[in-house]
Amino acid sequence: MTSRLGAYAPSSSVWEELKEELKRAAPSMGIDDIGFASADPFVSLKSILQKHRDKGYESGFEEPDLDKRVTPSLPGTTPASIIAIAVAYPSKMSNPPKSEPGKYRGIMARSAWGRDYHHVLREAMAKLEAFIRERVPDAVLESMVDTGALVDRAVSQRAGIGFSAKNCAIISPKYGSWIYLGEMVTSIPFPPDSPVTEDCGECTKCIDACPTGALVGPGQLNAQRCVSFLTQTKGFLDEEVMRKIGNRLYGCDTCQIVCPKNKGLNWTQHEELQPDPEKAKPLLLPILDMSNREFKETFGDTSAAWRGRKPIQRNAVIALGNFKDASAVPKLSEVLLKDPRPELRGTAAWALGRIGGEEALNNLEKGMKSEQDHKVRNMLTQALNKLQPETKAVAETEKQEGVQHSSQQSEEAGQDVQSPGTSSVNIAPKGVEPMAAPTIESDVLYYNEVHTPIGTLTVVASDLGLCLIEFGTFTVKEAVLQQWSRTWAGGVGYERNEERLADVTSQIKQYFEGTLKEFTIPLDMRGTQFQLQVWEALKEIPYGEICSYKDIADAIERPKAVRAVGGANNKNPVPIIVPCHRVIGMDGTLVGYGGGLEIKRSLLTLEGYLPDRKGL
C-alpha cells in the first residue's frame, strides 16, 4: 500500500489498515509493543509538571520549556498522531558473579546491562520510519528516544502501552515495567488505541521500599532524592545518601524489583540487551585505576557511560566503604592523597572512615595536612572523628578487663550475670518485668541472605547476636530494615558479611533439612519491656508443639493481656528462631503470621504438627 497525504487524503480505513500492518511488522523491527495516540496537547499534564517543579522535585535533566513537554509538534505542519513503542529488557542475570572479600563488586541498574538502549531504540525507530515512508512518501515524522521534549510516560499511557504506576514507571500488562520507551510524532492521522485500564490498586510496595523515600506519593517522585538520579550526579553526596547507595554504581531498580506486576518477568529476546556479567557486576577496585580511554572501552557501549567515569568511580569508592573492604585501604588512600578531583578525594575520606584501622587513620591524618579544598577537609574531619577514638583501644581493653573481673566476682557470689554473646533479654524473676532492651550503639549491622524452602530470608546480626530476620531478600526488604535500624540501632547502615552469619545460616539450613530441632544462636533482641517478656516465653515452646495466645498470657502472668500478647507475637523480630509460628488461636485456627499463613503452615508441617482443626 502506497498513500500520500494532501488535499485528497485517504479515508480513515486506509490509516487503520496501515496501523495494523505496522503492528504486525513491529517484531521484525525489534519492537515488542507499539501503540497509537492522538497528537492533542497533554493539557492536564502541564499543571502537574509545574507543581513538580515548584516543589523542587525535578532532576534538571528535563526539557525546561513546559509547553514543549506537553505539546506535540512537527516542523512545518500540524501533528496528527503519535506512535509509541516499547522494547523489553532483561531483569535477571544467569550465573551472576558474587562479591568476595578483597574482590567486591558493584551493580549496574538493569537499564544499563546490555548495549546502550538509546542506540537500540533509535535503530528500531529508524526501521519503523523507513517502513512508513515506503508506504507514505510525504509523511512528516519525528522520532524521540528518552532525550525528546515530550514526556515518554504520558505518550505511552495515552497510546495503550501500559498504565502509569505509583513508582512513576509505565507498566505493560505483558512486559511489566522492564521496557524502554520511544515515540514518533507523525502527520498521519492514525486511529488511536485505547489506554490500559489496569492500575496498581492498593499496593504501595514501591513507595515502602524506596531506599531514600524519593517516592513521596503515588506517581510522585522527588528526583533529587532518587538513588538512580544521585548515582548519575558528579558532586559530593552526604552521609545518609552514601550509605543507602550501597554498592550501586549506576541507577536503582528497587521500586521495580518489589513490584508484584514484575514478578517472574524476564525478557531475553534481544541479544544485544543481555548482560555481560563483568560489566553488569564489575569488580570495584579496577574501576578506580581506569583512564578515560579504558572507561570508554569497558563501559562506552552501555547507557551508564553517558555521564563519564567520575560518577562511576565515586560510586565505586562509596561501595568499597559500604563493604568495609580493608584490602581497599591502600587504593582509597591513593585516591585521597593523589586524585585531582575533590569529589573523589572527599568520598575516599568517607570510605576510609567507614573501613577504619590504623592504616586508614594514618592516611586520613596525612590528607588533613595537605588538603586545601574546604569540602574535602570537612569530610576528612568527620572521618577522623570516627577513627581517632581507636587510638584509645588499649585503655578500652583495660577497662573491659576490669568489667570482666567484676563479672567473675558476681558469678562467684551466685548472681545472675549475662555473658557476652547471649541473648540481650534479661530473664527477670517470675512476675517481674524485664527492662526494655537498650538501643545499643554500633557502627554497622551485618546481614546475609539464606535460601530456604519457604523463600529467601534476610538475617541481620549485631556484634552481640542475631537481632532480625525478614522474609525476602535484602533489596526487597531494604526500607523495612532501614526503619528497624532507625528505631532500634541508631540508624546505622548494613554490611553484608557471610562469615559473621555463617553459624546462623548453617543452623537455619539444618532446621529446614529436619536435622536440627533446637537453635543455639546468640540473640540480641530489641523491643519494649512487654515484648521482650512475650518473646522470652515464646522460646519455651518445644519443637513440634503449639499453644495459644492465652497460654502465653498465662505464662507471663498477664492473663488479661491476650490481645497485647498477640501484638507482641506479631512484632517478633526473629521468627523461626523464636518460634512465634507455634502460637495459634484458641479455636485452633492458624491466625496471622508475619510471613503469611502459607509459611506458617509450612513450618508447622515441617515440625510434624498439623492438628485436624479449623483453618489447618
- Selecting among 210, 226, 259, 580, the annotated active-site residue is 580
Grouping H, G, I as helix, E, B as strand and the rest as coil, residue 374 is helix
Instruction: Please state whether beta strands 220-221 and 170-171 pair in parallel, antiparallel, or not at all (unpaired).
Output: unpaired
- Residue 253: partners with Cβ closer than 8 Å, 6 or more residues away: 91, 109, 110
| HEC sequence for 131-143 | HHHHHCCCCCEEE
How far is 158 from 206, CA to CA, in rounded Å?
23
How is 405-416 classified by DSSP, letter by letter?
HHHHHHHHTT--
Q: Does the annotation mark 467 as catalytic?
A: no
Whole-angstrom distance between the N-terminal and C-terminal Cα of the chain? 65
d(CA 352, CA 128): 52
H-assigned helices in 470-584: 478-488, 502-513, 529-538, 549-555, 562-570
| Contact by Cβ (8 Å): 183, 83 | yes
Identify the CA nearest to 572 among candidates 468, 463, 458, 464. Answer: 468
294-296-297 Cα angle (round to 5) = 65
Closest CA to 609 of 544, 529, 517, 516: 544
The stretches of 339-439 forming alpha helices (DSSP H) are 342-355, 358-370, 374-387, 393-412
Q: Which residues pair with 283 in a beta bridge?
A: 105
Task: Provide the annotated active-site residues.
Answer: 580
